[in-house]
Amino acid sequence: MNRMLLAVVVAGSLAATGARAATLLDEGFENVPGLTASGWVQTNLSSPVGLPWGQGFVGPFAAQAGSAESYAVANFESAAFGSGGVVDNWLITPTLNFDAVNTVSFWTRTIFNPSIFPDRLELRLSLAGNSAATPSFSTVLVAVNPSLSQTGYPNTWTQYSATFSAAPGTSGRLGFRYTVPSNFSADFIGLDTVRVTAVPEPVSAVLLLAGLAGLGLARHLRQPTAAR
Using one digit for the tens of pLDDT, what is the confidence trace for 35-71?
Answer: 999 999 999 999 999 999 999 999 999 999 999 999 9
Dihedral of CA 152/153/157/163: which sign?
A: positive
β-bridge partners, 171 = 97
The listed CATH number (2.60.120.200, 3.40.50.300, 1.20.59.10, 3.30.70.2860) that belongs to domain 22-200: 2.60.120.200
Summarize the confidence of residues 172-182 as an average pLDDT. 98
Q: Is the pTM of this model over 0.85?
A: no
Q: 154: pLDDT confidence band, cut at 50, 70 and 90? A: very high
Query: Within 13 Å and on the Cβ side, how many CA atoms surround 56?
Result: 26
What's the rounded Cα separation, in Å, for the pair 60 and 44?
A: 23
Spell out the residues 6+ positions from residue 65 whose beta carbon is closer than 8 angstroms to its own: 28, 107, 192, 193
The mean pLDDT of the chain is: 87
Closest CA to 76 of 103, 115, 20: 115
Q: Which long-range CB contacts under 8 A does 60-63 form with residues at least 24 apart? A: 60/111, 60/188, 60/190, 61/109, 61/111, 61/190, 63/28, 63/29, 63/190, 63/192
pLDDT for the residue numbered 206: 52
Percent of the chain with pLDDT over 70: 79
Confidence band (pLDDT; 50, 70, 90) for 207?
Answer: very low
Q: Where on the phi/psi map is residue 84: left (φ > 0), alpha (ψ -120 to 50), or beta?
A: left
Check whether 222 has a pLDDT greater than 80: no
Query: Domain residues of the chain, as ranges?
Result: 1-20+202-228, 22-200
